[in-house]
Amino acid sequence: VSRSGVITLTTDFGAADPYAGMMKGVILSIFPAARIVDLSHEIPAHDPAAAAWVLLDSVPFFPPGTVHLAVVDPGVGSKRRPLALRNGDRFFVGPDNGIFSAFLPADETVELNRPQFFLPKISACFHGRDLFAPVAARLAAGSALADFGSPLADPVRLRLPQPVQEGDTLRGEVIRVDRFGNLITNIPERLLPPSPFAARIGGTDVPGLFPCYAAIPAGTCAALLGSSGRLEIARPQGSAAAALAAAAGATVAILKRI
Amino acid sequence: VSRSGVITLTTDFGAADPYAGMMKGVILSIFPAARIVDLSHEIPAHDPAAAAWVLLDSVPFFPPGTVHLAVVDPGVGSKRRPLALRNGDRFFVGPDNGIFSAFLPADETVELNRPQFFLPKISACFHGRDLFAPVAARLAAGSALADFGSPLADPVRLRLPQPVQEGDTLRGEVIRVDRFGNLITNIPERLLPPSPFAARIGGTDVPGLFPCYAAIPAGTCAALLGSSGRLEIARPQGSAAAALAAAAGATVAILKRI
Amino acid sequence: VSRSGVITLTTDFGAADPYAGMMKGVILSIFPAARIVDLSHEIPAHDPAAAAWVLLDSVPFFPPGTVHLAVVDPGVGSKRRPLALRNGDRFFVGPDNGIFSAFLPADETVELNRPQFFLPKISACFHGRDLFAPVAARLAAGSALADFGSPLADPVRLRLPQPVQEGDTLRGEVIRVDRFGNLITNIPERLLPPSPFAARIGGTDVPGLFPCYAAIPAGTCAALLGSSGRLEIARPQGSAAAALAAAAGATVAILKRI
């Protein structure tokens, strides 16, 4: 599998601290031609599942042969294993805590157990910089995945919440709230009943599907297909999250025939 | 017009969400040599005029042949048109909602109506990723503007607020508050009376012009020429916005002979 | 000294405003092959010492021949001098206000007093864009440091706070709080007594050293060696800063034999 030279970063480090910058310094020291893209450094702290959804939504838009480096890593320095994997023509490097669950089972998975590919000194607090960045840089530069360690048969896999059909009701949940206050759910287009239907969240029934944000009447919430291909609840020029007092984890029930 | 290979991004997507990263993935998939610069992803939500000011202030500092991709797009998915334009040796790609008003009339303007240049699947929520990024990438790689669509004669143009002379008083307004709490106005140097003068904002008269931030006495607000070449009201090591309880839109009246 | 082509940016401009983007436009106009890395744009406003610590911690992870451009510059436009310096194979460009104290004395220091290397028009508010970015770009492209000005013998040097031994007690301080609420101190590993010991902060004694975040019992604060090689106080999956009501500047006393 050839490489694009692109490396994406997904972390919970925040953009204010220099941690992401240090990782970029390490990458450019090893692979000067790397083109590095920040996906997000504002993943909720210590929440690998939130990063898994971001990767699921974002990875398809990157060139084949891209290396996705993701570090949401509360177990850093403990016995949690470091890993790298390949799913089709996409590569992933990070902690073995389920952060890459959306891409499991993988075509190849290795435990990163060859210190000659790490920085000479490994801190117990920052494997993103000392271990994962050097491996991602070498992988993006063309090294074979198998070079970095022994096969790992049982990577940790998180169960990303999936919608459930219960009689006439499809029950999903909000997995992310974006800057606009849009509620992004885990309900894919193929599971939705024919429009019109209602999405019940909290005590409120929200009508759907609307074709786009601008078609929603001002001051009301409505359901539409978001850019992820999943149901989204939005309020034009306002925040659906605030209007519905809803956050990640809130249940969304789809009721047929509004 | 030759191209610099540089693409700037200006959006209201926020830096926490992966939307800007996805756009970069699309760009690098099409034009791997692109050098992408974030101008801001924190434009006030749904406010193309705010983005227009940011572009006005920033574009002159980029190389000729740069493509400026800007997406503040409450009308995404509706009948608002997508466009690309050229003003001199600068290119712009985004929604036809006035976001490029500072660069109108343009030398060439096209409606983006040739889907072969978009992603195969266009969501109704995210033309930044599915439509504008692919066009910007191809434009930055050297395609002719005319390739992307038919000429568009009447792009939407916002009236960016301009200062008005009323007798002895020049009346402008605050167009942006920066991280330091500096109040950036729409009053250009050439309209200012000889110094000293007073800038009245809220009920307060602020003296000007001071030569630089450090020349302003501690704990006081004063007027100086900002880096945009327009009047700015600042408070050294503090926030003029907080001290004067002023925000974007506040009126600033320049009174001759302090 | 050869150059890596990498330029890092460290400022207090914030990521919402377009100021950092403008600097990148200037850099790419002069040196199109520059690879630019943001270290932080969220340095506490007007605090060069905070930037000095960030540079101290980050610079070692960048390739030799990197140019570190840092602008936390309350004295912009006043008589404070602009400078560039070299320490070993690292280059630095910014205001002469102590922001590079961690790298002084330098091997070469010059006052930037040759306007032919600046933008044609210099604002009194934004030397980052008009003066420092053009110099950093030329320096990263290979120009000799001595080209940019006359030797400067007495750059301003801040005394970054150092821990002090007082009898049995080692007294240091918190120099930064990161996104996780970890308290990063100025106490290096080599000054620490053998573990176990207590780190007293506010009225609380915090035990140390723990090997990693995950080893700290839930709901408690503890001391460990941070990624900077200095003592850090953390609370797993929570904020030590909040739990201990501590911020930058708080005293940390290390007491032997817990």
In whole angstroms, what is the distance from residue C115 CA to residue A115 CA? 49
Q: Which of A8, A47, A179 to mutate to test the interface with B (most CBs of B within 10 A)?
A: A179
Mean pLDDT within B13-17: 93
Interface test with C, best of B2, B4, B37 (most C CBs within 10 A): B37
pLDDT of residue C205: 96
Query: What is each CA distance from C230 to A207, B14, B110, C104, in whole angstroms?
Result: 55, 33, 57, 20
Query: Residue C199 in contact with residue C188, Cβ under 8 Å?
Result: no
When pLDDT is cut at 50, 70 and 90, the band that residue A256 belongs to is: confident
User: Does the beta-carbon distance from C236 to A126 stay under 8 Å?
Assistant: no
pLDDT at B119: 98
How far, CA to CA in Å, does B138 sit from each of B28, B30, B37, B70?
10, 7, 16, 15
C42 pLDDT more than 60: yes
Q: What is the pLDDT of residues A109-142, one digit of tens each?
A: 999 999 999 999 999 999 999 999 999 999 999 9
Residue B85 contacts residue B132 (beta carbons within 8 Å)? no
pLDDT tens, position by position, B132-174: 999 999 999 999 999 999 999 999 999 999 999 999 899 999 9
Mean pLDDT for C85-89 is: 98
pLDDT at B239 (0 to 100): 96
**pLDDT digits over A56-101, tens only?**
999 999 999 999 999 999 999 999 999 999 999 999 999 999 999 9
Q: Check CB contact under 8 Å for B46 and A212.
A: no
Token output for C253: 């006393």
pLDDT at position C258 over 80: no
Q: Is the pLDDT of residue B35 over 90?
A: yes
Task: Using pLDDT thresholds of 50, 70 and 90, give the confidence band for residue A258.
Answer: low
| Residue A254 to residue B215: CA distance in whole angstroms | 62
Instruction: Using the predicted structure, report yes or no on whether residue A48 has a pLDDT greater than 70.
Output: yes
Write out chain A residues lying below 8 Å of B18, CB-based.
10, 39-40, 54, 57-58
Chain A residue nearest residue C55, CA to CA: A18
Residue identified by tokens 């909720």 is A44
pLDDT > 90 fraction of chain C, expressed in percent and rounded = 97
Of the candidates B148, A119, A19, the residue with the CA atom closest to the CA atom of residue C180: A19
Report the b/e string of C46-75 with b at 16+ CB within 10 A.
bbbbbbbbbbbbbbebbbebbbbbbbbbbb
pLDDT tens for residues B68-92?
999 999 999 999 999 999 999 999 9
- What is the pLDDT, as a whole number, of residue B53? 97
B237 pLDDT band (50/70/90 cuts)?
confident
B195's tokens? 């110094």
Please name the residue of chain A whose CA is at the shortest distance from the CA of residue B21. Answer: A39
Inter-residue contact B92 to B141 (CB < 8 Å): no
Residue in the structure block whose two tokens are 């609370």 = C235
pLDDT at site C256: 84
Q: C212 vs A32: CB contact, 8 Å cut-off? A: no
Q: Do C45 and B224 count as a contact with CB atoms less than 8 A apart?
A: no
Taking an 8 Å cut-off on Cβ atoms, the answer to whether B25 and A37 are in contact is: yes
pLDDT tens by residue, A134-191: 999 999 999 999 999 999 999 999 999 999 999 989 999 999 999 999 999 999 999 9
Whose structure tokens read 């309350």? C74
Could you give the maximum distance between any two Cα atoms of chain B, in Å? 63
- Are C225 and A123 an interchain contact pair (Cβ–Cβ within 8 Å)? yes
Instruction: State both tokens at A114.
Output: 């060859």
What pLDDT does B258 receive?
A: 55
- Cross-chain residue pair C58–A29, CB shorter than 8 Å: no
Is residue C227's pLDDT more than 70?
yes
Contact residues, chain B, for C124 at CB < 8 Å? 211-212, 224-225
C88: confidence class by pLDDT, cuts 50, 70, 90: very high
Which band of pLDDT confidence, cut at 50, 70 and 90, is reported for residue B175? very high
| Residue C125, pLDDT score | 94
For the cut 70, the answer to whether the pLDDT of residue C161 exceeds it is: yes
Confidence band of A106 (pLDDT split at 50, 70, 90): very high
Whole-angstrom Cα distance, residue C11 to residue B213?
17
ipTM computed for the complex? 0.97
Q: Which helix (H) or strand (E) holds B136?
A: helix B133-140
Per residue in C68-79, pLDDT (tens digit) is: 999 999 999 999
Residue that the structure tokens 């574009």 belong to: B59
Listed in sequence order, the DSSP H helices in chain A are 19-30, 48-58, 127, 133-140, 240-244
Residues 39-58, chain B, touching A (beta carbon < 8 A): 45-46
Phi, psi of C70, deg, nearest 5 = -135, 130
Q: Is the pLDDT assigned to residue A2 strictly greater than 80?
A: yes
- Asked if the model's pLDDT at residue C87 lies above 90, the reply is yes
CB count within 10 Å of CB B104 equals 16
B230 to chain C: closest CA residue = C123
Can you give the pLDDT at residue B41? 97
Share of chain C above pLDDT 70, in %: 99
Q: How far is C254 from C100, CA to CA, in rounded Å?
A: 28
Q: Which chains form contacts with chain B, at 3 or more CB pairs under 8 Å?
A: A, C
The beta strand positions in B136-203, using DSSP E, are: 149-151, 164-166, 169-177, 183-188, 197-201
* Average pLDDT along chain B: 96
B179 at interface of C, judged by CB pairs closer than 8 A: yes
Please give the biggest Cα pair distance in chain C.
Answer: 63
Q: In sequence order, what are the residues at sequence separation of 6 or more whose Cβ sits closer than 8 angstroms to the Cβ of residue B116? A: none
Which of B57, B213, B231, B233 has the most C C-beta neighbours within 10 Å, making it the best mutation to test the interface with C?
A: B213
Average pLDDT over residues C171-190: 96
pLDDT per residue as tens digits for the range C117-133: 999 999 999 999 999 99
* Whole-Å CA distances, A43 to A20, B41, B139: 13, 17, 33
Which residue from C48, C10, C125, C121 is spatially nearest to B234, judged by alpha carbons? C125
